[in-house]
Amino acid sequence: MSDPEILATQQNDASFEDVWEELNWRGLVHVSTDRAALKELLAGEPITYYCGFDPTAPSLHLGNLVQLLTMRRLQLAGHRPLGLVGGSTGLIGDPRPTAERTLNTKETVAEWVGRLQGQVSRFLSGEGENAVRLVNNLDWTAGLSAIDFLRDVGKHYRVGTMLKKDAVASRLNSDAGISYTEFSYQILQGFDYLELYRQYGCVLQTGGSDQWGNLTSGTDLIHRVEGASVHAIGTPLITNSDGTKFGKSEGNAIWLDASMCSPYRFYQFWLNTDDADVVQRLKVFTFLSRERIDELAESVEREPFRRAAQRELAEQVTTLVHGAEATAAVIAASQALFGQGDLEGLDRATLASALEELPNTRASVDAPIVQLLVDTGLVKSQSEGRRAIQQGGVSLDNRRIDDESQTLAGLVEPGALAVLRRGKKTLAGVFVE
């Protein structure tokens, strides 16, 4: 369920003429159908719009968050959102650029549908005349026979056009090729838009710009079948200033589920945003006003060492995803780890997740501190560790270690979590067994 207190703080910026202007200022419109028509449409009476999320994993990630916040901005402008979680398209998966997806079982996909529906509902209001409505495309595809699908939907598609879609073309030119299963995905997504147009009068779909072929699959199908003009907005793919893919490090996505990406790790990800990227991240991922973002942009130029923009970004987005209480806990942990707070007062779960992000080791209470310095990589050898202790540069939980032969015994109890430090900023975690 959504957090009413967080949703209540969100609003569109009144300094813009309309939500279309704000979406463009925030850099959320990379490609779209007729821009003038969209501006007029979004400035008029409430419309119904949708975005789809496929359950190909048990959690949404930062790329999905771009769509959720775009949907929320449209909802705040009075429009009616449909959050589609694809119980049928999730059984197939959108074609990846390089290889076929591994097909998950129907039971797994059904479980993930429920989890993703819960996540979608957290970011959109369920109250009022434009409350979010969750839909599942399995509802209108499960009973559809292959013959009916080919006759009623497939006949409106031309293979030549389908082959030109970027996702399909890249796969055709790869060694892996593409199966008919994944080739048909764009027809299924187009059929979703047609059904939502028929059932709810939906006239706008949003999605990532890499989905543009699938988005226009729906607009073209509705035009052919119903003779109506509907719209699509493709948001830009968020990349870092160096061109690397945003939100992934060594193949690990930044998930919205706390069990898959801890609030501490999530907060640190945003805190470590490069100066060149932070202003655009503030525009996309926060509801801060244009005036406030301009102020933070100036701080990046004048005093980048203070990292005020990064701290604001990290706090805003972590609160949005994990709540104010969890955010306060991770900020306290960050401060305590670097000597600006009380380690003993930290929530154990938050401290544990923080230590998991540091170099760490597991040890018994009789383990020598010198060996732990080596095991955690804070020093290269025991002799280097002994010198560091002699120089007064080693501490455990902010207590300086003076004895080269000191063990954990007497300092911590079995089951404790400890912070081992060399110097002021080189830290490691110790999980005491």
Residues annotated within the binding site are 50, 185, 189, 248
Strand order in the sheet with 202-208: 31-32, 231-235, 202-208, 48-53, 80-85, 133-135
Pairwise CA distance, residues 327 & 350, whole Å: 10
> What single-letter DSSP state applies at residue 255?
B
What six digits make up the tokens of 74? 């449209």
Annotated binding residues for L-tyrosine, written as ranges, equal: 50, 185, 189
Give SS3 for 205. Answer: strand
- φ and ψ at residue 79, rounded to 5 degrees: -85, 160
Pairwise CA distance, residues 376 & 32, whole Å: 51
Q: What angle do CA 264, 121, 317 make, to 5 degrees?
A: 30
C-alpha distance from residue 81 to each of 42, 66, 131, 319 (Å): 13, 15, 7, 23
Annotated binding residues for ATP, written as ranges, equal: 248
Report yes or no: 318 and 267 within 8 Å, Cβ to Cβ.
yes
What six digits make up the tokens of 282? 């503030």
Strand order in the sheet with 426-432: 360-363, 426-432, 417-422, 394-396, 399-400
